[in-house]
Structure 1
Amino acid sequence: MDSFVDTNVAIAYSFSLDPLNFKSNRVFKKYNTIYWSNTVENEYKKVFKNKLKLLKEYFKDLKSFLMNDDYTDISFKSLVSFINKKNYSDKDKKKIKSSLSVFWNKYLDNELPSKNDVLNAIDCCLFDLSSNIYKKREEWLFQIKLTFKRIKRYNSIYNDLLGKPNVHESDVIIVLDAHDYNLELEEKIDFITFDKDFYNAASQISEFSFNKILGKEDFVFSS
């Protein structure tokens, strides 16, 4: 079985700090071939660059703050509160907070860590963001296959999806790329997105002939 994935699946696989990383790993292992289009590839490159820069800056700033301050209240809540000391957009704050939860569980095994524990954890995290993340990206890029460029517009689907709440035009373009490619195949593929609103909207379109449209709830953790 093959699949076509949305950008958020590829980003989740590349970033171990992404809360959906383990689900994207299941996608990576489940399918023989994973496809994306030029639209997804270009969006992935942009999001990867911006998210990596954002997380590096936050953890570097947090490390400097902890090293140069007599701050002793080391807790998850205090690390979250540090986000509000910086001039982040609401969207970036949300990204950092979701990654911070994974950071706390992944790099700290103590509910009441010392400052040194947190500083060491930040160093490990920054190493992963400077080295290991590129290995994950290469793993992803090695397996992914690029579909041919779409020519047909599929105006009825386009207009229908754009009329749904919280559905972005870029998401519509991506699923139409997948739809166009899927129509040429004898064995139909799965379309996967981790965006709940977009999954709900796409699932209502009867013109799609994917094997299945899957969301993040379809890739629950399994040992």
Structure 2
Amino acid sequence: MKNFIDTNIALGYSLNCDKMHETCLEFISNNEDIFWSNNVKQEFQKKYEQIFQLIHNFMLMTSSIVNTIQKSFINYYSFEKFILDNTKDSALDIYKKTKIIEFFWENNNINYNISPLETLIRFNQFLANYDYSHDSRKKELENLIELYDCGLNNYLKYPKLLKKLIKSGVHNPDYKIVLDAHDFGFTSDVCFITTDLNLIQLIKDCKLLNIMEFKTCT
């Protein structure tokens, strides 16, 4: 059976601060015959850059705060609270912020003996390394996933199914992706993989979909 992944699987694998990272990493590492369509790949690349820009902006904000409000931290929790309290204007979600703070703290052996200046220097180095390596797992993923090359407008071949999916509450680009998997199902047995349980609930009872199995990666 071929595994056809949704965009969120690719994002979870590629972003180590994503709440689904370990689950998606395990799935992709332990499975073969993993495919995505042109729509999944395009949406992934767009969303990845948007999220990474939020990550970058959060880290720049953190660097500025550490530089402006110079203080020492008695433990990780005091540092985490300090950063979260002062980065409320960042649009990055709390989970990703917290994971990034954890990565920095754990990789730099920060403790109460380290001066505010040394904390700043280490954080700026952490930021630079994070920026430098941010594409590595993304490129790794793109080398692992095979493309089901059906084009971006494949969904237009199935107007009745498209109408049914929209009526069921499936939104763009999800209905395009589901119909790409449906199209793939004419040549291969397909398992549709996503982290979106709501999407599975909306589509799993659609008898017209040519998808053999639906799975949530959670």
Give the TM bin, normalised by the shorter chain.
0.7 to 0.9
Give the SS at the match of 1:146. strand
Q: 1:83 to 1:50 in 2, by over 3 A?
A: same
Unaligned 5+ residue runs, structure 1?
218-223
**Partner residue, 1:198:** 199
CA displacement at 1:175 relative to structure 2: 0.9
CA displacement at 1:7 relative to structure 2: 1.0
Q: 1:102 to 1:206 in 2, by over 3 A?
A: farther
Of 80, 105, 108 in structure 2, the residue corresponding to residue 108 of structure 1 is: 105
- Quote the Cα distance in structure 2 between the aligned partners of 1:171 and 1:156: 16
- Quote the Cα distance in structure 1 between the aligned partners of 2:135 and 2:63: 22
CA displacement at 1:52 relative to structure 2: 1.1
CA displacement at 1:126 relative to structure 2: 4.7
Paired residue type of 2:96: S
- Quote the Cα distance in structure 2 between the aligned partners of 1:205 and 1:12: 27
Percent identity over the alignment? Answer: 19
CA displacement at 1:33 relative to structure 2: 2.0
Q: How many residues align?
A: 205
**Partner residue, 2:54:** 54
Unaligned 5+ residue runs, structure 2?
none
**Partner residue, 2:36:** 36
**Partner residue, 2:11:** 11
- Quote the Cα distance in structure 2 between the aligned partners of 1:135 and 1:32: 20
Mapping 1:51-200, distance limit 5 Å: 51-70=51-70, 74-84=78-88, 86=89, 93=91, 95-109=92-106, 114=112, 120=122, 123-124=125-126, 126-128=128-130, 130-149=131-150, 150=154, 153-165=157-169, 167-185=170-188, 188-200=189-201
**Partner residue, 2:209:** 208
Paired residue type of 2:122: N
Q: TM-score, normalised by structure 1?
A: 0.78
CA displacement at 1:156 relative to structure 2: 3.3
- Which one has the largest radius of gyration? 2
- Quote the Cα distance in structure 1 between the aligned partners of 2:168 and 2:187: 27
